[in-house]
Structure formats: C-alpha cells, structure tokens
Amino acid sequence: MDEASLPALTRHVLLAAFGVSVLLGALCQRSRFCTMGAIADARTLGDWRRVRMWVLAIAVATLGFNGLSAAGLLPAGASIYTGTRLLWLSALVGGVLFGFGMVLASGCISRNLVRCGAGSLKALVVLCVAAIAAGATLRGITAVLRVATVERFAIEFPQGQALPTLMAAQLGGADGAWLLALAALVAGGLVAWVLRDTAGRTAEVWLPGLGVGLAIVALWWVSGHLGYLPEDPRTLEPAFLATNSRHMESLSTIAPVAYALDWLLMFSDQSKTLTLGIVSVAGLLVGAALMAWRDRSFRWEGFANVRDLGIHLVGAVCMGVGGIVAMGCTIGQGITGVSTLSLGSALTLAAMAGGAVIGLRYQEWRIDRE
C-alpha cells in the first residue's frame, strides 16, 4: 500500500468503528446493559439476568477474538492486554477504585455515555470530570504518582501474559491450537453457566449478550485486520491505523473519553486526530440518543441536590484515575481485555467486581445512617 491511500483507509476504519458503536449504543440503551447495574441487581434483588448478559458477551467476544486469531485474521499478541508485564498491583488498586467509583457515579463510563445520550445531565458531568481525571492520570500530576507507586510492581512474562501463550510455552504445542482449545473451554463454561437458569435461556438475555459480544469482535476486526498495515509506507514497520495506543484496539471507554475531550479542546492543533477510541465513544452516545428518541424514553435528568452532585463527582474521579491505573474500564478490561485471555484483564475484572461490592455496601451504610 502506498502512502497516498492511507487517508482513505483511515476514514474507512473510523466510519466502520463509528457504525458498530452506534448500533452498540442503541442496543445498550434498549437492553439496559450495565456492569454496575448487573452487580447491583444480583446483590440486592437476587436478579442475575443482567449478569448473564454480561457473561454471555464475554463468551462471544472470547470465541470471536481467538477464532479470528487462530485463523490468522488478527495478530493475537498485538494488544495492550497481552504484553509481557503483568502490572498486578495496578490491576488490583485501579480495579477496586474504578468499581467503587462506578457505584457512586450511577454506572461505569459506557453506561454514563448511554445515559447521557438519553438526556442525563448528571451523566454529562460525570463524563467530563472522569475525562479530566483520566487525562491527568495518563500524562498529568496523577500520572507521576501512578508511575512512581503501583507501576513499580510487576511480573515479567517473556512470551506475554495471554493464557494460550503461557500454556504453549510451558506445555508445548502451537499457539493457534491453544487459542482455540482454551477459548472453547472458557466460552463453553461461561455459556453453560448462562444456560443453567431459565432466565438465561430467554431472548432478553441472549440478544444483548450476543450483540455486545459481536460488537467487540467486530471492532477487533476493524482495528486488527482492516486497519492493520504489515508495513507502514511511512515507517516501514507494522502499524495499526487510527489508534491511540499504536496497538490493536477494540472497545474501551475510559482513556477514549479523555482523548475525546483533548481532541475537542485542541481541535485546531493538527496533531490531534480522530481515533478508533474517540469515534467509538461518540458512536455509543449517538446510538443511545437515537434509540431514546425512537422509543420515547429521552428525559432530561439533573442532580437531586448538592450531596448527590458531590457523590457523583467523587465517583467520576475514582473512575478516571482507577480506569487508567487499571488500563481499562469494565468494558475495556472486563470484556475486550478478557476476550484475549489475558491474566491481567481477568485480575482487573475481579478487582472491579470487588470494588463495586464495596461501593454498594458503602451506599447501604450511608442510607441506613441517614
């Protein structure tokens, strides 16, 4: 490919990512797909339907990503999730902080994008504050603290931290065979758990779960296949078009909202360009807005009082800082990262779930005290 054709291919990547994200935003608005809501439903109401949606999405994304990788359509080790350094303390601290924050902020970043599209000004404030906190943790004052503390603790895996790679290195065999075997084992176990309950066999669970999982796979393909250059004519090195990390990407929201705010604020700076992450968060918002208008659920929503505002601001800061420390949100690590069978992503997901439970207990304690 010559350099003159790169702008057209980049536009195709961005348009494809935006289109997939619009559909995903509409689906999330219609189905109320939400990680925090799923954990809250299970803990307070004993209702596991939204947890089953979430687990099914992980299963579909895992099968899709590893199937495409085994077929040679994706470079399995080219994402940030499968690197050689397992930042275990970052995963734990950042995951708990993000999980706690999403309870205070009435949802994770993706849920707040959907709620904002449906008319929530509360969600708009949360997104702006989380974006500022995330930007500071990427390159600002809290970035210095991040690098000087939690990122000092890591485990090195010479071949990478993806489970298939580790198994191939320890037990032998081809990476492709391990990709398929472990993906089938993990996804099969998750689907079996979904089907154990009657509620897990309904369209209410399967349509959102399949839709979210397939959207993650589609974005992996857009970035890792459509936007992949084995030899970039500008550098003569492999490259992924329109990504902030310079690696293969799929859906994540916490760093992209910071990049989106930076792009808006520095629009006249020609070095600030649209990326897959930025158009993906925009697509979620647009898709949710279109669905809200279609089903007449669009409603303006504000804060109840100053205390409500303060709680949401604290939650937004926790998500902004925690999400960057953990290298992703509940979608970015919890589905996208886990689909790569990364040890770090699995650890982060567990920490986020634990942080959410702590946040729910705090909310219960606060209500009882009041």
Q: Which of 133, 125, 126, 120 is nearest to 105 (CA)?
A: 126
60-89: average pLDDT: 94
pLDDT higher for 228 or 367? 228
Q: Which of 206, 244, 208, 180 is nearest to 17 (CA)?
A: 244
Look up the pTM and report it. 0.96
**Average pLDDT over every residue of 76-102:** 96
68 pLDDT exceeds 70?
A: yes
Give percent of the chain with pLDDT exceeding 70. Answer: 99
Per-residue confidence (pLDDT) for residue 169, from 0 to 100: 84
Average pLDDT (297-313) is: 95
Spacing of C-alpha 4 from chain mean position: 33
Stretch 13-42: mean pLDDT = 96
Q: What is the mean pLDDT of residues 301-329?
A: 97
H or E segment and range at residue 137: helix 121-139
Long-range contacts of 224-231 (CB under 8 A, 24+ apart): 224/68, 224/73, 224/74, 224/75, 224/78, 224/248, 225/68, 225/73, 225/74, 226/9, 226/12, 226/13, 226/16, 227/9, 227/10, 227/13, 227/276, 228/75, 229/1
**HSE (CB half, 13 Å, CA atoms) of 353?**
17
How far is the first Cα of the chain from the last one, in angstroms, to the nearest whole number?
Answer: 65
Nearest to 134 by CA among 325, 320, 314: 320
Phi, psi dihedrals of residue 242, rounded to the nearest 5°:
60, 40
Cα separation, 311 vs 105, in Å, equals: 7
User: Count of residues for the chain?
Assistant: 370
pLDDT of residue 264: 95
In sequence order, what are the residues at sequence separation of 6 or more whose Cβ sits closer than 8 angstroms to the Cβ of residue 8? Answer: none
Q: How confident is the model at residue 1 (pLDDT cuts 50, 70, 90)?
A: low
Q: From CA 169, how far away is CA 146, in angstroms rounded?
A: 31
The domain ranges of the chain are 3-369
pLDDT number for residue 236: 80
Residue found by looking up tokens 């990049």 in the block: 259
Give the pLDDT band of residue 369 (cuts 50, 70, 90): confident
Mean pLDDT of the chain: 94
Tens-digit pLDDT profile for residues 134-188? 999 999 999 999 999 999 999 999 889 999 999 888 887 767 788 899 999 999 9
> What is the pLDDT averaged over residues 200-215?
96
pLDDT score recorded for residue 270: 86
Q: Is the pLDDT of residue 76 over 90?
A: no
What SS3 state is found at 254? helix
